[in-house]
Amino acid sequence: GNSVTQMEGPVTLSEEAFLTINCTYTATGYPSLFWYVQYPGEGLQLLLKATKADDKGSNKGFEATYRKETTSFHLEKGSVQVSDSAVYFCALSDRRAGNEKLTFGTGTRLTIIP
């Protein structure tokens, strides 16, 4: 079945540091890939997505590139801010499943210190 493996956290960085959160996936088809963010006490918000190989998703300074050859979708940001502190989830969906359900990783808690 489909699965997502995320870099284990928690991750603590200083403000303006470079961020990478690793994500690899296993899928039988050609999934779409997502990064979701969850702020304390809230639901999930879509951060960015990519639907096919070599696509780059980007939003709010975050980027991730769909790498089919390495089955990866690593999240990066060049200069993090305190407001980026949250839990980040990598996820995939496979349209062939008929219901496009999301399969999530376990999440990576990110804390940015001033």
- Positions that interact with other proteins (CB under 8 A): 4, 32, 34, 36, 41-46, 49, 51, 89, 91, 93, 95, 97-107
Provide the Cα torsion 20, 55, 104, 44; round to 10°.
80
Q: Which C-beta is closer to other proteins: that of 34 or that of 73?
A: 34
What's the start-to-end Cα distance of the chain, in Å?
41
Minimum CB–partner distance for residue 68 and other proteins (Å): 16
Minimum CB–partner distance for residue 61 and other proteins (Å): 19
Q: Which residues pair with 18 in a beta bridge?
A: none
